Copies of this chain bind each other. A is one copy, B any other.
Amino acid sequence: MQTRLFYEHLYSAVQFDEKDFPALLEYFTPFYLRKKHFLFQSGNVCKYVAFVMKGCLRYFQISEQGEEHIIYFAQEGWWAGGLYSFFNGTATSFNAQALEDCELLLSDKKSFESALASFPKFSEEYRRKTQRAYTAVQERIAEAQLLSAEERYNKLMKEQPSLLQRVPQHYIASFLGITPESLSRLRKKSRR
């Protein structure tokens, strides 16, 4: 598996030293996750965090009535994992499923904590990314209510147009918090 993307991310973010990279990789295991397969499912403990080398996963929750709601899509360069579950060994309420065949770098808790401890720059970048993600989720809460469905769709179109091409529309709808029918109508409207 090509691990270049992982290195490039670390280099561009914190100038991670190329000569340390092979040692860092020791803490990770390449893993191919087939389309529709799950990285983890609710009720279980997340044994691994995954860096997405290739592909796309949906991270979602299922309500009591069985409705699914997508929190985010993990694409190339993202971390996928139920962090609280991963670090504390508790059951997660989230699910992560591959929407395409994926190439992942997995790390279990022991390895990951060793990696964080051994490579300060890696640790710094990881912390930053996590905090950035936390902020992004907070912003998304505000947006869900301050913006109309149409505005949210337009924003997504502008910020992550690639998503709309690779992900089935009913998943986009779930991410936006509307029904597939409503999304279809919004698209029709914006086409004209």
A interface vs B, CB < 8 Å? Answer: 60-61, 63, 65, 67, 69, 71, 82-84, 87-88, 93-94, 127-128, 130-135, 137-142, 144-147, 177
The DSSP consensus for interface residues of chain A is helix
Other than the known A71-B138, A87-B128, A144-B144, what 18 A-B pairs have Cβ atoms closer than 8 Å?
A: A63-B142, A65-B146, A67-B146, A69-B142, A69-B145, A71-B141, A71-B142, A83-B135, A84-B128, A84-B134, A87-B127, A87-B131, A134-B134, A137-B138, A137-B141, A141-B141, A141-B144, A145-B177
Contact A88 B142 (CB under 8 A): no
Residues of B within 8 A of A71 (CB): 138, 141-142
Give 4 nearest A-B pairs by CB, closest first.
Answer: A145-B177, A69-B142, A63-B146, A61-B142
Q: Among the listed B65, B84, B133, B139, which residue makes an inter-chain contact with A61, where contact means beta carbons less than 8 Å apart?
A: B139
A147 to B63, CA, bound (A): 9
Q: Among the listed B67, B128, B130, B142, which residue makes an inter-chain contact with A134, where contact means beta carbons less than 8 Å apart?
A: B130
A69 to B144, CA, bound (A): 10
